[in-house]
Amino acid sequence: MTLKERDKKHLWHPLTQHKIHPEALPIIKAKGAVLYGEDQKEYIDGIASWYTAMYGHCNDYILDKVKQQMCQLDQIVFSGFTHEPAIRLSEELIKILPNNQEKIFFSDNGSTANEVGIKMALQYHFNKGEKRNTIIAFEDGFHGDTFGAMSASGLSVYNGPFEDFFIDVKRIPTPNKKNIESVLEALHSIIETHKVAAFIYEPLVQGANAMHMFEAKHLDLILRICKEHAIITIADEVMTGFGKTGKNFASDHIETKPDIISMSKALTAGFVPMAVTSCTKEIYDAFLDDSVGKAFFHAHTYSANPIACAVAIAGIELLHSKEIQDNIQRIIKSHTQFNDKIKNHPKVKVTRQQGVIYALDLNIEMDRYGKKRYEIFNHFMKQGVFLRPLGNTIYILAPYVISMKQLDVIYNTIIDLLETI
């Protein structure tokens, strides 16, 4: 039996309607920006496997550190024990996070990082003797698939069957030049009529919402109002973190800093799953008490897994290498040049860029999960490029190590699509 046939026997894939979805494509190897299929074909990974493998797949530097760590210490309970990789990672993260961040809490993935952030915010108020039970979030945001994170997310296809079980979330639209006044009004009115505990947001770019972007200065106005009302601000940097917006974190572009930041994806460079939720000293201090009950009782068995920590440290070292920093600038420039070339094409409705994140909307009506989307997906795959359109949006978020030649292949398949669609 082929891998495809064996896959179909027992596997249930995420985000997949198995009755209509085409079969999954087996990948047998990955290196740098390239995926190698069982079909003997090579595919340029134009989205860094959901923006994780930013330093390239199977990066040799990271591989070396992983091997060393695996032989030294594989796993240890993180309640009552500690270890050098976790300590060192906390130090490295605090160095690059916005400077109001002070404490590092570990979990396993982006959803749990946000779950932790939401629970921290709720318990922060609880510990202070205040009952606040409402979370504010952006419309069409995405924060993950666990219950708290899902409640805060606004993409209905994920949430439909579960809405009756959600925590209380009120939504505001993402801001722009035209609607900013009414967004601030809506925010004020929610604050007046609810006991708001926290505001959770993807800073500057909403990944799952087709790379929707908005301006730092508008977000800043929202964050200021939250601060005035002691609403805990949670920046979901699971997608935007670690250099993608042109700075270490998207929050670095915004004047008002969040109380809590969640990170995952590129944190562990595509090697292993892990997540971090950082917070300020003020949040942490609200959990200090003679009573055990005020402690944060949230744990994952693999919290701060030493191998994952070693990967993350190596990733941060690479992020700050001259090579990667130069690559980031090169990609930013080259996306801008590509944009100049195609932005006025009749099949292009609108384009946008933030750092190495580039997106364009096709000037055609399409369902987010419709047939046309697969046609476009297949157009790219046939030409050896892995891009994953979101509705009529095509976005590029390639590994930082992608070569100019590989980038040009991606650009050319997009131009080719515009000419033939």
Ligand X SMILES: *Cc1c(COP(=O)(O)O)cnc(C)c1O
Binding mask 273-312 for ligand X (x = CB under 6 A): ----------------------------------------
Cα dihedral: 398, 337, 420, 21 (round 10) = 20
Q: Is 153 annotated for ligand binding?
A: no
The DSSP symbol for 32 reads B
The nearer residue to ligand X, 267 or 331, going by C-beta atoms, is 267
The nearer residue to ligand X, 143 or 335, going by C-beta atoms, is 143
Q: Is 12 annotated for ligand binding?
A: no
Q: Which residues are bridge partners to 278 per DSSP? A: 104, 261
Residue 328 CB contacts under 8 Å (≥ 6 apart), including other chains: 243, 246, 355, 356, 400
Residue 92 engages ligand X in binding (rule: CB under 6 A):
no
Count of residues that interact with ligand X, criterion CB under 6 A: 15
Asked if residue 88 lies in contact with residue 303, where contact means CB atoms within 8 angstroms, the answer is no
Asked if residue 358 lies in contact with residue 341, where contact means CB atoms within 8 angstroms, the answer is no
Asked if residue 105 lies in contact with residue 277, where contact means CB atoms within 8 angstroms, the answer is yes
The nearer residue to ligand X, 194 or 247, going by C-beta atoms, is 247
Residue 144 engages ligand X in binding (rule: CB under 6 A):
yes
Q: Is 301 annotated for ligand binding?
A: yes
Q: Which residues are bridge partners to 198 per DSSP? A: 135, 232
Residue 56 CB contacts under 8 Å (≥ 6 apart), including other chains: 31, 32, 33, 399, 400, 401
Interaction residues for ligand X, span 11-70 (CB under 6 A): none
From CA 110, how far away is CA 19, in angstroms rounded? 28
Q: Is 2 annotated for ligand binding?
A: no
Between the alpha carbon of residue 77 and those of residues 1, 81, 278, 312, 417, the distances in Å are: 41, 6, 20, 19, 51
Residue 106 CB contacts under 8 Å (≥ 6 apart), including other chains: 78, 86, 274, 275, 276, 300, 303, 304
Asked if residue 231 lies in contact with residue 196, where contact means CB atoms within 8 angstroms, the answer is yes
Choices 131-139, 176-184, 234-242, 340-348 (CB under 6 A): range interacting with ligand X: 234-242
Min dist CB 205 to ligand X, Å, is 9
Of the candidate residues 48, 198, 226, 238, the single one contacting ligand X (CB under 6 A): 238
Residue 111 engages ligand X in binding (rule: CB under 6 A):
yes
Residue 140 engages ligand X in binding (rule: CB under 6 A):
no
Residue 371 CB contacts under 8 Å (≥ 6 apart), including other chains: none
Choices 202-210, 216-224, 278-286, 315-323 (CB under 6 A): range interacting with ligand X: 202-210
Residue 143 engages ligand X in binding (rule: CB under 6 A):
yes
Of the candidate residues 202, 303, 327, 401, the single one contacting ligand X (CB under 6 A): 202
Choices 170-178, 201-209, 278-286, 297-305 (CB under 6 A): range interacting with ligand X: 201-209
Of the candidate residues 33, 116, 120, 239, the single one contacting ligand X (CB under 6 A): 239
Residue 154 engages ligand X in binding (rule: CB under 6 A):
no
The nearer residue to ligand X, 62 or 118, going by C-beta atoms, is 118
Q: Is 212 annotated for ligand binding?
A: no
Min dist CB 225 to ligand X, Å, is 22
Residue 142 engages ligand X in binding (rule: CB under 6 A):
yes
Residue 109 engages ligand X in binding (rule: CB under 6 A):
yes
Residue with tokens 């919402």: 209
Run of H or E including 182: helix 180-193
- One-letter amino acid at 414 equals I
Binding mask 163-192 for ligand X (x = CB under 6 A): ------------------------------
Residue 361 engages ligand X in binding (rule: CB under 6 A):
no
Q: Is 372 annotated for ligand binding?
A: no
Residue 335 CB contacts under 8 Å (≥ 6 apart), including other chains: 353, 356, 358, 396
Strand 34-37, strand 27-31: pairing: antiparallel
Q: Is 298 annotated for ligand binding?
A: no
Residues annotated as binding site for substrate?
Answer: 50, 265, 388
Residues annotated as binding site for pyridoxal 5'-phosphate?
Answer: 110-111, 236, 300-301
Residues annotated as binding site?
Answer: 50, 110-111, 236, 265, 300-301, 388
Contacts with ligand X, residue ranges (CB under 6 A): 109-111, 114, 142-144, 202, 207-208, 236, 238-239, 264-265
